Chains A and B, each alone.
Chain A
């Protein structure tokens, strides 16, 4: 079965510090992967998606970047965090005709 793992679950980082969130999947090859951000009480904002190794598309200009160094690994990064980067970050795996499977999320608080 296809599974998705995301970590860490929570993170408190000072303004100006770097960020690295990791998402890995199992049970599938060459999946489409997505990073979403969710502000408190709000909807899902698509940040990045990737259809393969080294292929990243950005949906909104921002302080974040993404990379796909391996087929089943998707990383969200920042060189210098801003207060506005706080939120709930979700990685998602596209299962084709079976919709998306989301990771458990990372609650990021920038202080």
Chain B
């Protein structure tokens, strides 16, 4: 099965700074790399994903980069805002298989 690790487990940044969360995985067959955001008291929501044929994807202030050789991918948030405060989960997977979630990263953006 897939072994997934996220780092750091907690991250505190000042509003306006950038935040980077890294996810490492073990299954070289993984080809789908999503990031989920979970706000307090709510279910996780998919915020961005990337597939193995692409190295980077950007959507406004968030981006995901993939290094398949090293088996890791990262979530980048620029110009952080208080509403970015949440727990973020990665879930690398081989399409068609169950997602394996990382342990989560608590991001706190201080105003």
* Contact of A43 with B102 in the complex, beta carbons under 8 Å: yes
Q: Find A97's partner among B89, B95, B102, B106 (CB 8 Å cutoff).
A: B95
User: Is the CB of A107 closer than 8 A to any CB of chain B?
Assistant: yes
User: Is A100 a contact partner of B41 (Cβ separation < 8 A)?
Assistant: no
Nearest opposing residue in chain A for B101, CB measure: A44
A92 to B49, CA, bound (A): 17
Given contacts A43-B89, A44-B89, A105-B41, is CB(A99)–CB(B101) below 8 Å?
Answer: no
Interface size on A, residues (CB 8 A): 23
A102 interface residue, CB < 8 Å from B? yes
Within 8 A of A (CB), among B70-111: 89, 91, 95-96, 98-99, 101-104, 106
Q: Are B104 and A43 in contact (CB under 8 A)?
A: yes
> Contact: A102 with B43, CB < 8 Å?
yes
Task: For B101, list chain A residues within 8 Å (CB).
Answer: 43-44
Asked if A104 is at the interface of the complex by the 8 Å CB criterion, the answer is: yes
Measured CB to CB, the closest approach of chain B to A42, in angstroms, equals 8
Q: Is A35 an interface residue (CB 8 A)?
A: no
CB distance from A4 to the nearest CB of B (A): 9
Knowing A43-B89, A44-B101, say if A99 contacts B34 (CB, 8 Å).
Answer: yes
Expressed in whole angstroms, the Cα–Cα distance for A42 and B32 within the complex equals 24
Contact with B along A87-107 (1 / 0, CB 8 A): 000101010111111111101
Partner of A105, one of B42, B46, B49: B42
Contacts A104-B43, A107-B41 given: A49-B91 contact, CB under 8 Å? no
Q: Which residues of A contact B32 (CB under 8 A)?
A: 97, 99
21 pairs, CB–CB < 8 Å, chain A vs chain B: A32-B98, A43-B89, A43-B101, A43-B102, A43-B104, A44-B101, A44-B104, A49-B98, A90-B43, A90-B44, A92-B43, A94-B98, A97-B95, A99-B46, A99-B91, A102-B36, A102-B44, A102-B45, A105-B41, A105-B43, A107-B41
